[in-house]
Amino acid sequence: MTVAKNSEPALSTTSVHDFYFETPLYSPIDLDSIEGDIYSGTVDGFSSIDNRDTTYSINMKSNGEHWNYYDNIISIRLRDKRTDSGDLFFFLYVSDDDRRVVKIGQAPSLATIQFADIAKKYKDVLGKQDISMLKRAIGLAAHGTGIGSFVYLRRILESLIWETYNAHKDALVVSEQDFKAERTKDKIKILKRYLPASMSKMTPLYGILSKGIHELDEKECLAYFDTMKLAIELILRQKIQQKQEQDEEAETIRRLREATQQLAQKDGKND
């Protein structure tokens, strides 16, 4: 078996977590780029069974019976250390020629693992439709459909932009018709004060997604998928932080008003 060279150079480094929980099947990874040991030790990840983050032990043995190493095929079992169960299984092909490793099978699927994680992480900042689109993007990428995955990622980005516009349009001096006519990067500039900071720095994101849909082939889109998904998730994480700060501010103001009223009532009684 020969691993095809990927037209896009591998990322400079890949963590053990990213290898097992983020990398789609059949995506070659340079062994030298992996930070850590993918064959032993531990790795933190999300349990789709218990719906929580946990730590897994990494073991190359299959059910403790024998070493599974044949013709460069290695089987890996990840076991939840908290419950000593909840096993995840992976089959890896390791190329001696170019020192690359490829996930050629896993159970549960990458999509199953990530779907549960996504629903938990982003339920407060994404509607059901957007969560569904993110799941579809991940599912398509996991099954080798790069262009389709880009379509859904772009829709999520567009949804975030329009959601922000609709929430603040009364404070903006741009009509909906004029806003719709703007290019995406200009829409982001208009909404800059209301969007997560990372979104303003990632204006190329929409262009890359559009280029992928109209000009790139499936393999090229898959090569960039992890980067595109990471960019979307970074924006969402900052949106979560933004919402938490807004909620904390609102709660603090409420408590200050409550304290002010209580003190005013106390002063009135003393009078």
Same domain, 128 and 242: yes
86: region left, alpha or beta (phi > 0 left; psi from -120 to 50 alpha): left
The predicted-structure confidence for 66-125, as pLDDT tens digits, reads as follows: 445 556 889 999 999 988 887 999 999 998 888 899 999 999 888 888 887 888 889 888
Q: How far apart are CA 237 and CA 229, in angstroms?
A: 12
Same domain, 94 and 153: no
Residue 90 lies in a domain: yes
Same domain, 127 and 242: yes
Indicate whether 8 pLDDT > 60. no
Task: Give the single-character DSSP code of 4.
Answer: P
Same domain, 65 and 143: no
State how many domains the chain has: 2
Q: How far apart are CA 54 and CA 43, in angstroms?
A: 9
**183 is in which domain, residue-wise?**
123-246
Same domain, 128 and 71: no
Same domain, 102 and 164: no
Residue 68 lies in a domain: yes
Residue 88 lies in a domain: yes
Give pTM, 2 decimals.
Answer: 0.66
What stretches of 84-164 adopt beta strand conformation (E)?
Answer: 85-95, 100-107
The predicted-structure confidence for 170-208, as pLDDT tens digits, reads as follows: 999 899 999 999 999 899 999 999 988 888 888 889 999
Residue 86 lies in a domain: yes
Q: How far apart are the first and last CA of the chain?
A: 90
Residue 49 lies in a domain: yes
Same domain, 164 and 219: yes
Q: Which of 62, 84, 108 is the last residue of a domain?
A: 108
Same domain, 64 and 130: no
Q: If we measure between CA atoms, which residue out of 32, 31, 92 comes closest to residue 62?
A: 92
* Residue 11 confidence (pLDDT): 47
> At CB < 8 A and 24+ separation, what contacts does 208-213 make?
209/150, 209/153, 209/154, 209/157, 210/154, 212/146, 212/147, 212/150, 213/147, 213/150, 213/151, 213/154
Same domain, 91 and 138: no
